[in-house]
Chain A
Amino acid sequence: DAMVIQNPRYQVTQFGKPVTLSCSQTLNHNVMYWYQQKSSQAPKLLFHYYDKDFNNEADTPDNFQSRRPNTSFCFLDIRSPGLGDAAMYLCATSRDWGDTEAFFGQGTRLTVV
């Protein structure tokens, strides 16, 4: 019944080793978001899509990339993870822009060793 599914739930990667996080949705929503959340902080927006139109935040590091090959799937690629990239990564979707409810996946907790 899960509508926004993130895989894996937990990911351990080595410093500098590329890693990909995935998100899938069964809601057929137009908008998909990637947020980074560090301990005791608010979710920080990294990227968002409206359909295939991609937007990244001005302060999203170049080390972070994203792909949305179709409506249902979205990926977050971290090319060379640093210790400071350890965080919870949240994927969310909404039917339309910010005046509709956002549905979140359970998140992927990334550890960098």
Chain B
Amino acid sequence: QQPVQSPQAVILREGEDAVINCSSSKALYSVHWYRQKHGEAPVFLMILLKGGEQKGHDKISASFNEKKQQSSLYLTASQLSYSGTYFCGTPNTFGNEKLTFGTGTRLTIIP
């Protein structure tokens, strides 16, 4: 089953913050985050491999709540380059099997 992301779309002014959520109806063993710009392939941002893990990359960070079966992506002081569609990705079972993508969140940053 496909993870559900919220919000579906968000528009921010440059410098504002955003939170994107990814929720699953089944147990999550790890969570990937990808960004896809229009007409391009998805690009990997980060993986969180265990519950409670948090990671940061520049001003983009993420958390993983295993018990709640969800992950959140935090974008701080957003830049124009952050525009795109963000997808979470989850393996099917514990560290194995296929990678399934969430419903996606379209982020638009305006000057």
Q: Chain A interface (Cβ within 8 Å of chain B)?
A: 33, 35, 40-45, 48, 55, 57, 90, 92, 94, 97-107
Q: State in angstroms the CA–CA spacing of A48 and B101 once bound together.
A: 14
What interface size band does chain B fall in? 20 to 34
- Chain B's interface: helix, strand, loop or mixed, by majority? strand
Interface residues of B (CB under 8 A from A): 2, 29-30, 32, 34, 40-44, 47, 49, 87, 89-92, 95-104, 106
CA distance A2 to B89 in the complex (A): 23
B-side contacts of A104, CB under 8 Å: 41-43
The answer to whether B98 and A99 touch across the interface, beta carbons within 8 angstroms, is no
| A106 cross-chain contacts in B, Cβ below 8 A | 40-41
- A interface, over-half SS: loop
Considering the complex, give the chain B residue whose CB is closest to the CB of A109. Answer: B39
Closest 10 pairs (CB-CB, A-B): A98-B91, A104-B41, A99-B95, A42-B101, A97-B96, A98-B99, A101-B44, A99-B30, A42-B104, A48-B98
- In whole angstroms, what is the CA distance A92 to B104 when docked? 18
B97 and A98 within 8 A (CB) = yes
B98 & A55 in contact (Cβ 8 Å cutoff): yes
Shortest distance from the beta carbon of B97 to any chain A beta carbon, whole Å: 6
Instruction: Pick from A43, A55, A90, A97: contact of B95, CB below 8 A.
Output: A97
Task: Kindly state the separation between the CA atoms of A55 and B41 in the bound complex, as whole angstroms.
Answer: 23
- In the complex, the chain A residue whose C-beta lies closest to that of B99 is A98
How far is B7's CA from A84's CA once the two chains are assembled, in angstroms? 28
Of A33, A41, A57, A99, which is within 8 A of B104 by CB? A41
